[in-house]
Every structure is written in C-alpha cells, then in structure tokens.
C-alpha cells in the first residue's frame, strides 16, 4: 500500500529530519529541486542536454517566437518558492534560458528560500510581473509552478494575467505547447482535500517529494495534477508517521494489488470451505441488481451463492440463474427461517431491494444475527429518515457502500461539511468525512467514487483510485456498484475481514473495468475476474 501524507505530516517528517542534525533544510531544498529537474527530463527526454547557450538573455525573444528550451519559473513567498529557485538555477546551469518571477517580498522569504533566492541572483535577474500579474513574453517550453505547495491556507490572488498568459486555468495540454510542472501540488489546490481554494492551476506534471499528498488523489486533484511522480529527498530513514493498516492510524494509503496468497483459493478445498453468500432480491421487475451482486460474489470465489427472492420474482429470477441457487423468502419472517442455516456466512442486502417497510425489517433481522453483512443502495436509503436506527444495530462485521447521494442521506451533517466550498486550507476532505462516518456507524464505510475512500471505525483508511494510470471512466455505469457489493460479499464469505474485503474488492473492481475497457456494462465486470486473477499469477 502506497502511503499518502497530509501537509502537517510532511512538515513533521521534514522537521524530524532537520532536528536530527543529519540533514539541513537547504539540503532538502536542493534535493527537491534536483528531483524536479530529473522528473522533467524523465518525462520529456527530448529536452535533456539541448539547452541553449547560458550567455543568451531571455530578452532576445520576440512575442511570436516559440522556444521549447525556455523556462519560466514562478516562485511564491515560502519554501515552495525556494524549491523553484533551485530548479531555475539547475536549468540555467544546463544552458536553458530561464526567467524567474517572484510573487512576494524577497525580504520576507524564509531563511532557506532566501539563500536560494540569492544564489539565483548571481545567475539571473528576478523579473517583475506585469500589472495584471502576467508576463511580457508569455512564451516558454516549460512553466514551473513553485508558488504555493502544501502550505496553501488561503486563495491565491496574484492577478488574472498570471493564469491567462499560459492558459494555466485551462485544460491540461491546452497551453499552446507549454508544459506546466507543479512542485508538490498545483497552486490553488488544497494538499489535504483536493479541493480548489480559489483559482487553481492545471499542471501536466506534478512532482511530489518523499510521498504523494492526499490532495493529489482526492476531489479535483487528479484533473489538476496531470501526471504525478514522487521524488526521494532522503527522508526514508526517519520513518513513516504510522502505517495505514495500523489501528488508529492517521496515515492514508492507496490500495495496491492484493497479495495473491489471500485472493487465491487453497488447493484441495471444497465449496463449503469457501463460504456461502446470501444475496436478497427485490420483487418482480427489480431483480437485476441482486443477480449482478450474486454473480459477482460467485466469480470472486464464494463457494456457494444463494439468491433469496420474494414469491413475485421467483420465476423471473429462475429464468436468469444457473450456478447461483434460488430460495424463496417472503419478508422478515421468511428470512429469519432461512438464517437458521448457519452456513450462510455473508449476507448482501440492498441492490434492487426496494425501500418498502419490510426492507427495514429484513435489514434489522440480518444485523441481529451478527454475521458479516454488506449493505448497499436501498438497504441504506430505507433508513434515511432515521439513520440512527441503523447505526444502533450495525456491528464491526458490516460494510456499508454508499455513493454520494446515499452518503448524504445517512450522514447529512457530514456531507454538508464536505460539500462546502473551500475558503481556507487545509479543507475538510473526503477522507475526513469517511472516517467520521465510519466512527459514527461503527463499521467499515466504503464511500464510492473515482476516489473511493474506505475507512474503518478504528481510524484505518485507504483510497482506491480509479484515476491517473488506473482511470476507468466507463466504470460509471448502471449496476457497477451492485457488482462491487457482490465482490465484497463473496470475499467476506471466504473469511476476509471487512476492511480487507472492501479494499480488495474495490481494487479488483477497477481492474476488471480496465481489463474490459470502453463499452463496459455491469454484466461484464464479474466476467473479467478470471483474466485479472491470471494476471495476478493465480
């Protein structure tokens, strides 16, 4: 699992390193600048070693000239700006024409940034922005955004021209061939929440130091960051703040591919050793969602899967099932009788179940059994009028999987805080919201989205990203969430702990979508699992 850090955690790590006496702030700043230059040439190797003569002044440029080897470095008033001065100096030493703009008072720069400001001053001038914050000649091969990184606490107000000249507020790749490189985060993006705090820049490449920041994965982060890379600045020996999988951890991780020993079935096992999942179906005309979940549970490895159906939908379900078994269940009483069979060791309720009164009764019946339970869709919406009724009976072997609307119905106060525009940073994030919801509910909460956040009541938290190289926009299709609920149910039937089941299922869900590609419909997801498992070496 890849570690993500908040701004405060990153500052604590840097301070621990500096206070140890093993490294100075200046050395960290130099390493950061070197990492940025490395990242630029790794991303665009055609630019390496092709700098122009160091003696040529950028003033020779005419407004209609396009020089891919001219860099404009935008430095802010803090240590992010200090990193920018290092980048400018290193590019200049490679023969690039470099212009540096300082947005702030040089006399107020932090000590380390001030040193690098003065080092740059021996090589080139500090340019003065136009009155609107823009540039005399807005033409460059690369713009380096070193204005505000993780320390952003307020909207940036540096003049409209700053953003207009290089189309820095436009879509990435639309800046007339200019490549925009952000240090740690694009300026204007909250490092903890991924929300924009006022105007925010778009980058083609974002270079983070030591570890990626939460804001790169949440909210507007992925669309603003472009491609992300992490550069080592020598902080590993000072350790991780705490591990994402430790109880009470404040650190967040990005889910990675599951350990194949956990996902694969044991040789020689029989079907009952891999659990028996029960999925409850809605009535006539509302059965497809439950069948999607049941198929997902079976494909992911549950030994047996039974679909519990009301009488009105028995024929409809029977005509569409083969390997999934079918049992008639009419209401909470019928469910109570069925659950006398202790072999049902994971139960999924919600997909297509309906929001009638007996839905609530069936949910409460299942939860009183204290068996591993997955609640999705209608099983959550049914409690929107009185969520506390649900929270009172949820237990630690439960997973609830709301999308944004369902989350807002169950946790209206949390959702309101999450949806509020960010006016200062660090802003309240989806991670904060999911952790708070999990603590209130007393179980694992999987808050769906391209930046799916999974949190346990003990504080553990991870992000399952369907963005950057794992982007799968075609996953936004009807029924995809039902399949995910089935995946979780199947894994819990096999004995996975709730957090492990949710993380593993979410990761496999995205991999199945990526395996199929555009044109995906929900029925395709579970059918990709065999190929995904083969790719994992199972």
Q: Are 88 and 144 in contact (CB under 8 A)?
A: yes
Quick one: which of 497, 515, 485 has its CA closest to 296?
A: 485
Give 458-521 as a 3 state SS string. Answer: CCCEEEEECCHHHCCHHHCCCCHHHHHHHHHHHHHHCCCCHHHHHHHHHHHHHHHHHHHCCCCC
3-state DSSP: the chain helix, strand, coil percent, rounded to 5? 40, 15, 45
| CA quadruple 489, 491, 494, 499: dihedral, nearest 10 | -100
SS3 325: strand
482 is known to lie in a ligand binding site: yes
Could you give the CA distance from residue 200 to residue 93 in angstroms, rounded to a whole number? 30
Q: Quick one: which H or E segment has residue 404?
A: helix 404-410
80 is known to lie in a ligand binding site: yes
289 is known to lie in a ligand binding site: yes
Category of 234 on φ-ψ map: left (φ > 0), alpha (ψ -120 to 50) or beta: left
What are 242's two structure tokens?
């705490």
304 is known to lie in a ligand binding site: no
Angle at 176 between CA 173 and CA 181, to 5 degrees: 55
204 is known to lie in a ligand binding site: no
CA–centroid distance for 163 within its chain: 26
145 is known to lie in a ligand binding site: yes
220 is known to lie in a ligand binding site: no
Could you give the CA distance from residue 317 to residue 349 in angstroms, rounded to a whole number? 16
234 is known to lie in a ligand binding site: no
275 is known to lie in a ligand binding site: no
Strands 344-349 and 276-280: parallel
423 is known to lie in a ligand binding site: no
352 is known to lie in a ligand binding site: yes
Strands 205-209 and 325-328: unpaired
Q: Quick one: which H or E segment has residue 211?
A: none
Q: Are 207 and 35 in contact (CB under 8 A)?
A: yes
* Burial of 170: CB neighbours in 10 Å, binned 0-12, 13-18, 19+: middle
187 is known to lie in a ligand binding site: yes
152 is known to lie in a ligand binding site: yes
83 is known to lie in a ligand binding site: yes
401 is known to lie in a ligand binding site: no
403 is known to lie in a ligand binding site: yes
Q: Which residues contact 109 (CB under 8 A, 6 or more apart)?
A: 77, 78, 81, 82, 117
**On the CB side of 283, how many CA atoms lie within 13 Å of its CA?**
8
The position carrying tokens 């089941």 is: 501
Could you give the CA distance from residue 249 to residue 253 in angstroms, rounded to a whole number? 10
CA distances 455 to 122, 253, 399, Å, are: 51, 11, 10
151 is known to lie in a ligand binding site: yes
CA–centroid distance for 289 within its chain: 26
Measured in degrees and rounded to the nearest 5, phi and psi for residue 303 equal -65, -40
Tell me how far apart the 2 most distant CA atoms of the chain are, in Å: 87
154 is known to lie in a ligand binding site: yes
Please state the residue numbers annotated as binding site: 79-83, 145, 149-155, 184, 187, 289, 352, 403, 448-452, 481-482
Please state the residue numbers annotated as binding site for (6S)-NADPHX: 79-83, 149-155, 184, 289, 352, 403, 482
Please state the residue numbers annotated as binding site for K(+): 80, 145, 187
Please state the residue numbers annotated as binding site for AMP: 448-452, 481
């Amino acid at each position: 699992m890849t570690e993500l850090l908040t701004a405060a955690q990153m500052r604590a790590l840097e301070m621990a390193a500096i206070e140890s006496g093993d490294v100075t702030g200046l050395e960290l700043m130099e390493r950061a600048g070197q990492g940025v230059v490395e990242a630029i040439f790794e991303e665009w190797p055609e630019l390496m070693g092709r700098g122009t003569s160091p003696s040529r002044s950028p003033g020779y440029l005419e407004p209609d000239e396009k020089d891919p080897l001219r860099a404009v470095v935008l430095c802010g008033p803090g240590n992010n700006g200090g990193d920018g001065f290092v980048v400018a100096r290193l590019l200049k030493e490679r023969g690039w024409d470099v212009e540096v703009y300082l947005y702030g008072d040089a006399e107020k720069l932090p000590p380390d940034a001030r040193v690098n400001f003065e080092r740059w001053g021996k090589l080139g001038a500090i340019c003065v922005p136009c009155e609107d914050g823009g540039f005399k000649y807005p033409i460059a091969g690369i713009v380096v955004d070193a204005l505000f990184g993780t320390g952003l606490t307020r909207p940036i107000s540096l003049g409209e021209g700053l953003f207009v000249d290089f189309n820095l507020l436009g879509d990435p790749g639309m800046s007339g061939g200019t490549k925009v490189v952000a240090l740690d985060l694009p300026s204007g993006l909250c490092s903890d929440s991924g929300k924009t705090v006022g105007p925010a820049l778009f980058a083609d490449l974002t270079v983070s130091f030591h570890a990626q920041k939460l804001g790169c994965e949440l909210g507007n982060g992925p669309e603003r960051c472009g491609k992300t890379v992490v550069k080592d600045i020598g902080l590993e020996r000072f350790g991780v703040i705490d591990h994402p999988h430790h109880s009470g951890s404040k650190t967040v991780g990005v889910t990675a591919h599951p350990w194949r020993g956990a996902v694969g079935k044991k040789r020689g096992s029989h079907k009952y050793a891999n659990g028996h999942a029960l999925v409850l179906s809605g009535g006539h005309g509302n059965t497809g969602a439950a069948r999607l979940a049941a198929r997902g549970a079976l494909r992911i490895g549950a030994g047996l899967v039974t679909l519990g159906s009301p009488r009105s939908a028995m024929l409809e379900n029977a005509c569409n099932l083969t390997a999934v078994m079918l049992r008639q269940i009419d209401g909470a009483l019928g469910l109570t009788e069925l659950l006398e069979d202790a072999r049902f060791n994971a139960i999924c309720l919600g997909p297509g179940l309906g929001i009638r009164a007996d839905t609530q009764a069936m949910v409460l019946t299942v939860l009183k059994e204290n068996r591993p339970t997955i609640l999705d869709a209608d099983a959550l919406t049914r409690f929107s009028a009185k969520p506390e009724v649900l929270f009172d009976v949820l237990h630690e072997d439960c997973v609830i999987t709301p999308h944004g609307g369902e989350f807002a119905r169950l946790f209206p106060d949390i959702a309101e805080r999450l949806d509020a525009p960010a006016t200062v940073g660090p802003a309240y994030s989806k991670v904060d919201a999911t952790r708070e919801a999990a603590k209130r509910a007393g179980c694992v909460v999987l808050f769906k989205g391209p930046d799916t956040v999974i949190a346990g009541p003990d504080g553990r938290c991870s992000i399952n990203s369907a963005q950057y190289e794992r982007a799968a926009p075609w996953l936004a299709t009807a029924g995809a969430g039902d399949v995910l609920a089935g995946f979780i149910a199947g894994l819990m039937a096999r004995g996975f702990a709730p957090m492990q089941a949710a993380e593993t299922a979410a990761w496999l869900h995205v991999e199945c979508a990526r395996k199929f590609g555009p044109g995906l419909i929900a029925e395709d997801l579970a059918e990709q699992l065999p190929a995904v498992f083969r790719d994992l070496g199972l």
